A and B are shown apart, each in its own frame.
Chain A
Amino acid sequence: MSVLVYAEFIDGKPKKSTLEVVYYAAQLAAQLQTKAVALTIGPAEQADLEALGQYGVEKVLHADEARLSQFQSRAFSRLIAAAASENSAQVVVLSHSANGKALAGRIAVRLEAGLVPGVTALPDTSNGFSVRKPVFSGKAYAHVAVESEIKVLSVNPNSLKPQSAAGSATVEKFSGSLQDSDFDAELSSRDMVSTGAVPLPEAELVVSAGRGMKGPENWGMIEDLADSLGATTACSRPVADTGWRPHHEHVGQTGVAIKPNLYIAVGISGAIQHLAGVNQSKTIVVINKDAEAPFFKAADYGVVGDAFEVVPKLTEAIRRFKNS
């Protein structure tokens, strides 16, 4: 018996969401009175693998060969399923990240497991096995029972704060039998947006702006505000649609769904489709010149005022606070 967690490394390093799922798996293993085992695929430093022990796993399996340096959904899912079987895993845990979404369904089929995607809490195992996940784009939660013997859970980023303690995992080589046909897509290029900011789905601080900014030339003050906080920038859909901002910044029901600690919305009316992607944020600040803007109903803190005056003042106040 065990809980197997896929600990994703990107460019040789664990992601923030990786530490979250490792911690989630360790907590779940403790709850089930069993052990958590991690599997990492592709290049990774020994020290980083051992450090996963700080989040509660005792053993890290490491599959590494040249052709595993790029993500491949078929090959990776095969290795994860094989590691799960070899370790008699009851539960397989992975992140509900871009790669996690490509893997989870495949793993569930291979293990004949029930899958709950995008969970935000540990399961209730007092009577059967059920787990909570957001549905209707964050407008509600569902409690989903899993009735198969093996369960697969993908965990939404920013759903829990991993706690670390002293510890070091033992690292073992892992090799599954892979065939050439498991490598079915050829990567021709990879293009990272090099803003230096944390990618939106993982960001804890987000500054977002809408049509109230009037035009792309006014985004300097939004970037300054984000910069003062170390936040990632986002925008409403019409802003991305008209090309004022890049598409990857579009948040909401049809854009990226986010779950930061702090979401500051500037000049965004708060349409239901926008709220659907951001209402899981822990704290919401709304800056809007219209006191009747629907967003105020979903906000924790509100400033009724002209963004062009309020935003630079807020940036200054934050800078003073950070320097004090």
Chain B
Amino acid sequence: MLWFSGNCRIFRAFNKPVDPRKSSGRIEAQNPFEILVMNILVCISKVPDTTSKISFTDNNTRFNESGVQFIINPYDEWYALVRAVEIREAGGGEVTVINVGRQDNEQIIRKALAIGADKAIRVDADPADAMYVARQIAEQAKAGSYDMILLGKETIEYNGSVLGGMLAELLDLPYISLASDLQVEGQSATLTRDIEGGKEVLKLNMPFVASAQKGMAEARIPNMRGIMMSKSKPLTVVPAAEVAAPTRVLHYELPPEKGQVKLVSPDNMEELVRLLHEEAKAI
């Protein structure tokens, strides 16, 4: 694939400014063939704040947004975005955030810029389903030349954890899911991936797609300077590509309310064991 070729990388080193806050003399001082300019794309989604009360309207077909605060999906913000910013801070380069959503998402996009992303792309569309969003992001990724594409482990809204795999397949790239550590070394990276009951450490070459979870970075709070600068950073709005969404939410349902809790005296644990065995059939 041409857009990921080595030439592209060197070309970029010559032509694209690295982080202006860090670039002083860096390009001139070194052999361009050794310059490592990381170009990172971070996918961010907008989700209801974790304390939101979940309810639905229109015959349980729409999420009730009234009174709900929206935030950047925690995995995207705390781990994927912060790690991308750390890598740029360490080695130079550029962090682009991308979101598929309508204009009211720009508030959370500006927050990502305040945390340290350099620029943003918003694909102007309703995120119909994961495949739809993945195809939109893939279109934009093809137009850039990214060394890595980072996502969150899953959205706390849809709990899909599938978009990264779709994106990797659409772009014909490797995919590491549920990464809790990411180290960059030259043209390769080492990632730790969580599996049931353990961890795997994997080495691979750029470019790649990875989804991030706890452990990859520490959440950052944007500072005043970041907030000021975020206002003037470029946010490009692009129209949606025409693609189909193969799935559709028909309606939502709230789980049945728990009945009244049965209290057991702290002096009668035999009774609790009996209830767990005979009534709940849990032991």
Enumerate chain A interface residues (CB-CB to B < 8 A). Answer: 10, 15, 71, 73-74, 77, 96-99, 101-106, 108-110, 112-118, 130, 132-148, 154, 184-193, 199-202, 205, 229, 247-248, 250, 253-255, 257, 261-262, 272-273, 276, 279, 282-286, 296-306, 309-310, 313-314, 316-318, 320-321
A145 with B263: CB separation less than 8 A: no
Contact between A301 and B272 (Cβ–Cβ < 8 Å)?
Answer: yes
Asked whether B280 is an interface residue with its Cβ less than 8 Å from the other chain, the reply is yes
Q: Is the interface of A mostly helix, strand, loop or mixed?
A: mixed
Query: Interface digits, B252-275 against A, CB 8 Å rule (1 contact, 0 not)?
Result: 111100110111111101101101
Say yes or no: B261 contacts A115, CB within 8 Å: no
Query: Does A201 lie within 8 Å of B196, measured CB to CB?
Result: yes
Q: Which residues of chain A are near B263, meaning CB under 8 Å?
A: 301-304
- Chain B's nearest CB lies how many Å from the CB of A132? 8
Which B135-181 residues have C-beta < 8 A from chain A?
Answer: 156-170, 174-178, 180
Q: How far is the CA of A9 from the CA of B194 in the complex (A)?
A: 17
Q: Report Cα–Cα, A272/B157, bound state, in Å.
A: 14
One of A140, A188, A205 near B255 (C-beta < 8 A) = A140
List 8 interface pairs A-B (beta carbons < 8 Å), by A numbering. Answer: A101-B178, A142-B251, A184-B205, A205-B282, A247-B180, A300-B261, A300-B262, A300-B280
Q: Which residue of A lies closest to B166 (CB)?
A: A105
Taken together as a complex, chains A and B put the C-alpha atoms of A313 and B269 apart, in Å, by 6
Instruction: Give the contacting residue for B276; candidates A112, A145, A285; CB below 8 A.
Output: A285
Which residues of chain B have C-beta atoms less than 8 A from A139's C-beta? 54, 254-255
**Contact A106 B169, CB 8 Å, known A146-B247, A302-B262:** yes
Give A73's nearest chain B residue, CB to CB.
Answer: B175
Q: Across the interface, which residues of B come within 8 angstroms of A303, CB to CB?
A: 263-266, 269, 272
Q: Tell me which residues across on chain A come within 8 A of B208, comparing CB atoms.
A: 184
Q: How many residues from B make CB contacts under 8 Å with A?
A: 78
Candidates B175, B197, B255; contact of A141 at CB < 8 Å: B255
A189-B197 contact, Cβ under 8 Å, with A115-B130, A283-B276, A301-B261: no
The closest CB in chain B to the CB of A157 belongs to B196
Q: State which of B56, B166, B248, B253 has its C-beta within 8 Å of the C-beta of A106.
A: B166
Given A98-B178, A101-B178, A282-B282, A77 and B266 touching (CB < 8 A)?
A: no
The minimal Cβ–Cβ distance linking B99 to chain A, given in whole angstroms, is 19
Q: How far is the CA of A202 from the CA of B195 in the complex (A)?
A: 12
Q: Apart from A188-B201, A303-B263, A309-B266, what 19 extra A-B contacts exist at CB < 8 Å? A: A105-B167, A109-B166, A109-B169, A133-B159, A143-B250, A143-B251, A144-B247, A186-B203, A188-B202, A199-B197, A200-B196, A248-B194, A254-B214, A261-B282, A285-B276, A297-B261, A301-B280, A303-B272, A314-B269
Cβ of B3 to closest chain A Cβ, rounded Å? 17
Tell me the smallest distance from the CB of A301 to a CB of chain B, in Å. Answer: 5
Closest CB of chain B to A20's CB: distance in Å? Answer: 13
* Complex interface bits, B206-250 against A, C-beta within 8 A gives 1, otherwise 0: 001000001100000000000000000000000000000011111
* Distance between Cα atoms of A286 and B163 in the complex (Å): 36
Contact A114 B247 (CB under 8 A): yes
10 closest Cβ pairs, A-B complex: A105-B165, A114-B246, A305-B266, A199-B197, A192-B198, A105-B166, A184-B174, A199-B196, A109-B169, A262-B282
Residue among B162, B163, B170, B267 with the highest chain A CB neighbour number at 10 A: B162
Which chain B residue has the least Cβ–Cβ distance from A305?
Answer: B266
Q: Which residues of A contact B194 (CB under 8 A)?
A: 98, 248
CB-CB under 8 A from B193, the residues of chain A are 98
Q: A143-B249, A229-B283, A303-B264 are in contact. Are A101 and B258 (CB under 8 A)?
A: no
Q: State how many angstroms separate the Cβ of B157 from the closest Cβ of chain A.
A: 6
Kindly list chain A residues whose C-beta atoms are within 8 Å of the C-beta of B54. 136, 139-140
A105 and B198 in contact, given A141-B255, A188-B190 (Cβ under 8 angstroms): no
> Which residues of A are found within 8 Å of B205, using beta-carbon distances?
184
Nearest opposing residue in chain B for A322, CB measure: B283
Whether, in the assembled complex, B120 has its beta carbon less than 8 Å from a beta carbon of chain A, the answer is: no
The interface residues of chain A lying within 8 Å CB-to-CB of B74 are: 253-254
Residue of A whose beta carbon sits closest to that of B254: A140
**Chain A neighbourhood of B180, CB < 8 A:** 247
* Shortest CB distance B130–A (Å): 7
Asked if B200 and A189 sit within 8 Å, CB to CB, the answer is yes
CA distance A106 to B163 in the complex (A): 9
Chain B residues within 8 Å of A296, by CB: 261
Q: In the complex, how many angstroms separate the beta carbon of B46 from the nearest chain A beta carbon?
A: 14
How far does the alpha carbon of A253 sit from the alpha carbon of B198 in the complex, in Å? 20
Residues of A within 8 A of B178 (CB): 98, 101-102
Chain B residues with CB under 8 Å of A316's CB are 269
How far is B160's CA from A143's CA once the two chains are assembled, in angstroms? 14
| Max count, chain A CB within 10 A of own CB: residue among B163, B202, B203, B249 | B202
Residue in A97, A190, A282, A321 whose CB lies within 8 Å of B198:
A190
B204 close to A (CB within 8 Å): yes
**Contact assessment for B201 and A137 in the assembled complex, using a CB-CB cutoff below 8 Å:** no
